[in-house]
Amino acid sequence: MREKWFSEYWTDSIKFSVKVKKHLYSHQTKFQKIDFYDSFELGRFFTLDDIMMANEKDQFIYHEMMIHVPMSVNPTIRKVLVIGGGDGGSVRELTKYPAIERIDMVEIDEEVVRKCQELLPLTACKLTDPRVRLHFEDGAKFVQTAQDYYDLIVVDSTDPIGPGEGLFTKEFYEGCHRILGSEGILVNQHESPYFNNTRAEMIRAHRKLAALFPIATVYQAFIPTYPSGHWLFGFASKLHQPNEFQANEELLGSFGLEYYNKDIHQAAFVLPTYVKKALESE
Amino acid sequence: MREKWFSEYWTDSIKFSVKVKKHLYSHQTKFQKIDFYDSFELGRFFTLDDIMMANEKDQFIYHEMMIHVPMSVNPTIRKVLVIGGGDGGSVRELTKYPAIERIDMVEIDEEVVRKCQELLPLTACKLTDPRVRLHFEDGAKFVQTAQDYYDLIVVDSTDPIGPGEGLFTKEFYEGCHRILGSEGILVNQHESPYFNNTRAEMIRAHRKLAALFPIATVYQAFIPTYPSGHWLFGFASKLHQPNEFQANEELLGSFGLEYYNKDIHQAAFVLPTYVKKALESE
């Protein structure tokens, strides 16, 4: 039988390929093409417009780093807005905190959520938590008209091409700033510093956030299945510095985390010189 | 014209591919197959038995992290033994230190060195430094019979398959321990924690070093073109702790480094929980 591989172009001339056991599902929604695969090395994974979003092997890294960094800086967070994040992994990590009272998740494409609930329960398992409200609408529009205030906004978006584009604009970040409380924190997926294409996006996103928030920096994690494996998260904050580690360590220890820990929290903000230079460039 | 790609199997079912401008050279030596390519994204690169060794785009990360970590822990290092490292990148970084008096480089395959001098001067440019002595012989044998003492041994090897195999054995590490002075440090390329195949090598290498040296740990860097992009270095030491950062910061600042800095030195030793667990496993 002929081998099947899924290939993702990290740049025009760099390709990452995964041998596939089975192509489980493929559908063009109103917004994007969704595919689910089962693979030998990464377990199940899904793609949007042929870009890998999450896989069973390393999804824990992305979701732990997205959520536990801001939650450890301000453990009194009660109301969270998740933009995107249709696979549910960010929500799953958030629901570990008893202090969180409400999670609004705004995902433009309901089919992503429903298919992840069916085929990727590892990430989607907590979307039925009673504190979670699902809003199937455009995150950019939601933020413009929202009347509520949030303690934390998690921008768990795709790349700034296609449906994710509106989640990297100045207007979107301004809207987020407006609906964040006085101790509010925003974290977002912030692309990679390594390849030219994603580095340009990283710099643009950072400048926009730094123009709005008194505290704006990035932190990083080893995520082998994202382009270059060197992935950044943005941390923008009205009051709290990123090194204010205030977590209840007993609670944190009970979560069974496999990547994030107290020391990683600090180390994740330490950037290689070339990344610092790129962020500081005019 | 048909596109040419170089593909490397990171595991049986994960493949990393680079679009090639030109295949510059290919030759089977007594020890291994050497190929040089020019590429769009990574510039020139070379492979040994179809495994990428170094490329112009990210070679600085590997070589800076290999050398400046131990040199900052003990800036009085004068005599260095480099095992492998035929591309010359580790030697290039070592020659930046005026205090270093002698560098013995032991590379089994002279053709790697000669071809890198011709086709990859970015890494090989300092192999003619008067402090450098090139020994074209088996590093494992060299260490068994060496009568000199060294302050630092840099094991800049290929993977533990083929010619590099002897550089991951207990006997080899014992030999290194014997010829290291009382303040001696050994650093080595220590594989990746992510995929099962390299994680097993990581664990084996760590156990052997930890059985011999009072201080044995690992540190990490984002190296996008090595499998998973999450690459480890071993740090084994008779006296100095890895967090003893003693570098002359003015000198270090004059090197024009693009990855390593004082904060990265400490952060590189902070491991994700799953990596710590794997290293501590029995």
Structure confidence by residue, pLDDT tens digits, B193-233: 999 989 999 999 999 999 999 999 999 999 999 999 999 99
Q: Which of B106, B102, B187 has its CA nearest to residue B145?
A: B106
Tracing tokens 């290689």 back to the chain, one arrives at A272
Structure confidence by residue, pLDDT tens digits, B238-268: 999 999 999 999 999 999 999 999 999 999 9
Structure confidence by residue, pLDDT tens digits, A140-178: 999 999 999 999 999 999 888 888 888 999 999 999 999
Residue B2: per-residue pLDDT: 80
Residues of A in contact with B261 (CB under 8 A): 272-273
Q: How far is CA A95 from CA A103, B12, B23, in A?
A: 8, 37, 52
Give the DSSP letter of residue A163.
G
Residue of B nearest to A278 (CA): B258
Q: What are B134's strand-pairing partners?
A: B105
- CATH of region B59-280: 3.40.50.150
Tracing tokens 């910061």 back to the chain, one arrives at B249
- The ipTM assigned to this model is 0.96
Residues of B in contact with A9 (CB under 8 A): none
A4-54: CATH topology is: Spermidine Synthase; Chain: A, domain 2 (2.30.140)
**B80 CB-near residues (< 8 Å, 6+ apart):** B94, B100, B102, B103, B104, B150, B151, B152, B153, B154
Q: What average pLDDT does this structure show over B23-52?
A: 97
Torsion of CA A95, A97, A100, A106, to 10 degrees: -30
Q: What average pLDDT does this structure show over B113-126?
A: 98
Catalytically annotated residues of A: 156
Residue A1: per-residue pLDDT: 65
Structure confidence by residue, pLDDT tens digits, B55-87: 999 999 999 999 999 999 999 999 999 999 999
Domain locations along chain A: 4-54, 59-280
Identify the segments of chain A with pLDDT beneath 50: none
- CATH of region B4-55: 2.30.140.10
> Is residue B164 predicted with pLDDT exceeding 90?
no
Tracing tokens 């790609």 back to the chain, one arrives at B5
Residue B1: per-residue pLDDT: 65
Q: Which of A4, A9, A13 to mutate to test the interface with B (most CBs of B within 10 A)?
A: A13
Residues of A in contact with B52 (CB under 8 A): none
| Chain B nearest C-alpha distance from A30 (Å) | 31
Tracing tokens 């510093």 back to the chain, one arrives at A193
Q: What percent of chain B has pLDDT over 90?
A: 94
d(CA B248, CA B254) in angstroms, rounded, equals: 10
| Chain B nearest C-alpha distance from A230 (Å) | 6
Mean pLDDT of chain A: 96
Residue A163: per-residue pLDDT: 82
* Cβ within 8 Å, pair A270-B267: yes
Give this prediction's pTM: 0.97
Q: How far is CA B202 from CA B82, B96, B231, in A?
A: 20, 30, 10
Closest partner residue to A18 (CB to CB) among B14, B258, B264 is B14
Closest partner residue to B18 (CB to CB) among A13, A39, A194 is A13
Tracing tokens 């970590």 back to the chain, one arrives at B69
* Cβ within 8 Å, pair B264-A258: no
Number of cross-chain residue pairs from A and B with Cβ atoms under 8 Å apart: 123
**At residue A106, what is the residue type?**
V
Q: Which of A270, A271, A276, A281 to mutate to test the interface with B (most CBs of B within 10 A)?
A: A270
CB B65 within 8 A of CB B260: yes
Q: What average pLDDT does this structure show over B26-40?
A: 97
**At residue A189, what is the residue type?**
Q
* Cβ within 8 Å, pair A13-B39: yes
Mean pLDDT of chain B: 96
Catalytically annotated residues of B: 156
Q: How far is CA B102 from CA A92, A144, B134, B149, B169, in A?
A: 56, 65, 11, 11, 26
Q: What average pLDDT does this structure show over B135-161?
A: 95
